[in-house]
Amino acid sequence: MKRDFLSLLDCTPDELRALVARAIEMKRLHRERSLPPLLAGRSLAMIFQLNSTRTRVGFEAGIGQLGGHAIVLNSSDTQLGRGEPIEDTARVLSEMVDAVVIRMRPHADLERFAKAATVPVINAMTAHLHPCQLLADIQTFEELRGPIAGRTVAFVGDGYNLCNTYLEASRQWGFQLRIACPRGFEPSAALVAAAPDAVLVDSPRAAAENADLVVTDVWSSMGHEEEAARRKAAFLGYQVNEALLDHARPDVLFMHCLPAHRGEEISATLLDDPRAVAWQEAGNRLHTQKALLEFLLA
Ligand code: CP
């Protein structure tokens, strides 16, 4: 039976831990140029209805390095863009490729696609969840600091798709999650209620105090651009900067999924701070996405 990866909850905690361990191993094999062509002859269709750099390159380069190949489809290239039903596209692509990667805003549309497809479907980000990002974040933390279970993570900023996914991750990996969002920008109430180790706190300082990891995301994600001015005002005081990290543990790590807006959700210099690991985090998108493809296809 095919497996999808629409949410971290589509895998068991043991499967997620194994995926991250495999990504660390694949990174070593990649550097040694000894990664075998595990997906030779396999094809991946990738539908991007929203822009992407890291996710797209991670999958396209990744399947190529495993001996397979990717077909990248922008919305405007496909009949989806002209109104062909999602289910029909899912059934057609299932006849032709071995898996489909999709970035689209409505999570319900992704679920419709996955239900109709007979090959694995991977969530490359929706307005609700961004599970591929979390695989890379956990890999990065564990490479540098060891197991994340039992640690404290602070999420500061917009309670949107990345924050929602951190809520699922806190359940799957067993870490404490403190979330600081401006009023009106809190994450999904259902995901908060389902995460026993997550709490909403009333300030970035309360979230960051003695944290092992501090995370943020842009204030205006894709699709929120028209709200940018209102959001800038609402998020004042929610910037992650060097002074905020000083309240965390001395060995705290800072992560940002990128792209970043310096001077907004982070200070102009934060990505140059030794506590920031955003470049390693971005690079790990390649290795975790390869491990995911192997898990779903090999
Ligand atoms: N973080 C992330 O998903 O990056 P892209 O939007 O460039 O894929």
Q: In what order do the strands lie in the sheet with 253-256?
A: 198-201, 176-180, 152-156, 213-216, 253-256
Could you give the 3-state DSSP secondary structure of residue 27?
A: helix
CATH architecture of 8-129+282-297: 3-Layer(aba) Sandwich (3.40)
Q: What is the CATH number of domain 133-281?
A: 3.40.50.1370
The pLDDT mean for the chain works out to: 97
Q: What's the average model confidence in pLDDT over 222-228?
A: 84
* pLDDT value, residue 12: 98
46, 47, 51, 53: residue to mutate for ligand 1 pocket, most atoms within 8 A of CB? 53
Atom 4 (ligand 1): residue with closest C-alpha? 54
Is the pLDDT confidence value at 75 over 80? no
- Catalytic entry in 158, 212, 257, 289: 257
Say yes or no: CB of residue 46 within 6 Å of ligand 1: no
Q: What's the average model confidence in pLDDT over 163-188?
A: 97
Atom number in ligand 1 closest to CA 132:
3
Instruction: List the one residue out of 264, 214, 197, 254 whose CA is nearest residue 234.
Output: 264
Report the Cα 40 to chain-centroid distance in Å.
26
Each domain of the chain, given as residue ranges in start order, spans 8-129+282-297, 133-281
Could you give the 3-state DSSP secondary structure of residue 70?
A: strand
55, 129, 292: residue to mutate for ligand 1 pocket, most atoms within 8 A of CB? 55
- In angstroms, the Cα distances linking 1 to 16, 100, 116, 251 are 19, 16, 14, 43
* pLDDT value, residue 199: 98
Is the pLDDT confidence value at 235 over 80? yes
Q: Same CATH fold, 133-281 and 8-129+282-297?
A: yes
pTM value is 0.97
Catalytic site residue 130? Answer: yes
Q: What's the average model confidence in pLDDT over 176-198?
A: 97
* pLDDT value, residue 222: 82
